[in-house]
Amino acid sequence: MSGIIGWIVGLPIIAAIVWLTYYFWNNDRILDSRIENGDMSLLSSTNYKINEIVKAPAGSRVENVNHYAIPNIEGGYIRQQLPDGSIALIPANSVPSDVRNPVIETDIDKPPLL
C-alpha cells in the first residue's frame, strides 16, 4: 500500500520537474533563435527586461571598466629581446642610461682595450 502512495506522490513531482526542465530549455532555445534572427519585437516585449543593446561580434562580452588616458611617452620605445626569445618594446624613458662625457673619460695614456 505504501508503494502505491509513493507512486501517487512521486509521479506528479517527477512530471513537474520534467515539465519545468523542458519549459525553461525550450524558452531558452526560442529566445536564442529570436536573438539570432534579430527579432525587433524583443525590445517591446514585457517578458524580458532589456538593460542595454550592444552590437558586437558573437562571443563578445561587455565589461564595466574605468577608462583612462595613457600618457604619451616621449622618446619612443627601445626594442629588447627577452630571455625567452620574444621581443618587447620598452619605453625609452624607463631605461636608465648614464650620460658620460667622452672627453673626460678618455684616457690618452692608455691604449684602447680589444
CA nearest to 30, candidates 19, 42, 20, 18: 42
The reported pLDDT for the residue numbered 22 is: 98
The reported pLDDT for the residue numbered 65 is: 79
Q: Domain map of the chain by residue range?
A: 2-42
Could you identify the residue written with the cell 500500500?
Answer: 1
Reading the block at residue 73, the C-alpha cell is 611617452
CB 75 within 8 A of CB 93: yes
The reported pLDDT for the residue numbered 18 is: 97
Total-model pTM: 0.43
CB 78 within 8 A of CB 90: yes
For every one of its 114 residues, what pLDDT tens digit does the chain have, with 9 covering 90 and above? 788 998 999 999 999 999 999 999 999 999 999 988 888 888 888 888 887 777 778 788 777 878 777 666 566 777 788 888 888 877 766 656 666 655 555 566 666 666
